Structure 1
Amino acid sequence: MYPFFEANKSGDQNFFSSKILENFSFPPHLHPYVEIAYVIEGSIEVTINDTQRCLKAGEVSICFPNDIHTFNSDGFSNIILFIFSPDLTRSFFGIRMDKTLENPFMSKNIVDDGISPLLYMLHDEYKSVNNKYVIKGLLYTILGKLDSHFTFKKSSTFYNSTMQNLLKYIEIHYHEKISLDSIAKDLGFSKFYLSRIFSNKIGYQFNDYINRLRINKAQKLLSETDLPVTVIALECGFESQRNFNRIFKELTALTPTKFRTGI
């Protein structure tokens, strides 16, 4: 389960998360943190701003704060996903906060040059002792080794501000009764213009995109709380448990109850 909502809501300057995710997909989104994905096995298609690549085992993607990014696994993939506040490595990101990467993907030969063992060490440290000084030290070392391969550009040249505002709005209001009409009214755009953004830029129909965010949140609540399924359905924006169950199974191949008992 992707820690998308933790990254958007925490506001923690020391936020750090590391998860191993299998066959991971997530629609276009953004958050104020840094994200590094390392492919352990298989392959995964990653899009960051306007750049897309199919990452294979041993390769890495690096997403800077507020970059719009997407993950899509058509086949098998197994990745480690790190998400962390840029404040953890303030000396590195302090002068780069208005930047993004021209090429946010690192090939296997670059990662094999002493970086991949550090990524495994970072994940193991988080899952075991979780010493913040060790984590900071490993992050600085990883970024330092990658820095010579980075080419920076102004972030404003790489993403569409309208799309940013749209995604941020949805991340705040996804659990409410929203529609293209209501979003268009609140953001001051036409419904048809926003519809074209979803079709041409985001790559999902509006309802499909909203449902994917809601189901991700539902997975978090199912795994971390004892709330009844009916309450979770309502909290995630579904008007009925029947509709919730149907969409949950469509997107995960499991019922909410089976997902919870299988964790």
Structure 2
Amino acid sequence: MQLLRNFKSFDFGEATFRYYGTYGPVNGLVIQLVQLFEGDCIVKIDEQDYILRKGETSLIIAKQKLEYIYPAETSHRVRWCNVKLQGHSQLPSLISSQYTISTTEKLDFIFQSALEVEYTDSVNASILRDSYGQTLFNEFVNEIEEEEFKSPLPLPVRECLKYINRNLVSDISAKSVSEDLKYSYAFMNSIFKKNIGLSIAKYIWTERVNKAYQLLTEEDYSVLEISEICGFKNQQHFSRAIKEQFKRTPTEIRRLTRRYNYTQICSEQTYNNAAV
């Protein structure tokens, strides 16, 4: 992370995709901060899929290939800050990765201020833009370090939670998560369940169905698109999981939430579970 404080030159941009859009593929090394403030999207980093969500700011490091996919049926708004990479000898030591935090007011303010400079013809625009870029990256690193310092969770659990969040769209399992993080499955699952209260597999399943519910009730993606965004193997598997959790099919949930809220559905679910 310390290397991220050493970049000196940047450019900023923003775009709106009304219903569908793509960015890339861009080949070669790319380092950027991305802020999504409307809609969710999928980012492919060296062929690995990740989810970027509304209200989050993400650091993206791609060493070979980067591509963004903004699904149809909903609007997307995104801002970015690219690092100009010429002259950085330490860059080969970086690994492809994605780090995400919730967008803070300060990050939002820096981004907005930089964009105002980006679109002016001021003599000092380049100097101001680079200053904002340095400030933005420093603030992002500060937020990550502060978040890790404050967290009461052990490091393996924090790593596991971040990995699951970044890879929810992919075909991950408790075993694959443990292997990729270089921990034994028995150790990882034990320490995770001790601190989170769920096994890794159950946590992944719960995150997927909860994210799917949010998309069903708040966005206009098709049921098939939501099943893909949330990492389900196919639409049938997705529908079974949703019905198991909420006692209704995805189509029924979408129709009913135009009249009822999430609390009412959950209350019915609790009643049904108690009656079993």
> Which band: TM-score by shorter chain?
0.3 to 0.5
TM-score (norm 2): 0.42
Larger Rg: 2
